[in-house]
């Protein structure tokens, strides 16, 4: 995975190339920028979905296990 600085440098270079209107490099740079932005939006969306799924899984596990209020609860269960 490229570093944040590397991505920023690449995007700066692409934006510079995209500024050259009516050239093949400019058209290709605009296309690359739109593809990269679309992929970043998809990754952000997938990250949010994964985080929501993980959080809901932890919430379900917490609801299944009874909460121990103090160590005395554990001791009392051991004596019976």
Q: Summarize pLDDT for 44-79 with one digit per residue, the tens.
A: 999 999 998 888 887 766 666 666 666 665 655 555
Residue ranges with strand state E in the chain: none
Q: What is the mean pLDDT of the chain?
A: 83
* Coil, helix or strand at residue 11: helix
Domain map (residue ranges) of the chain: 4-79
Cα–Cα distance between 14 and 6 in angstroms, integer? 12
């Amino acid at each position: 995975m490229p570093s944040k600085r590397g991505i920023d440098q690449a995007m700066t270079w692409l934006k510079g190339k995209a500024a050259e209107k009516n050239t093949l490099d400019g058209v290709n740079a605009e296309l690359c920028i739109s593809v990269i932005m679309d992929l970043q939006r998809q990754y952000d969306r997938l990250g949010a979905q994964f985080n929501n799924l993980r959080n809901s899984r932890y919430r379900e596990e917490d609801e299944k296990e009874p909460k121990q209020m103090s160590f005395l609860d554990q001791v009392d269960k051991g004596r019976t």
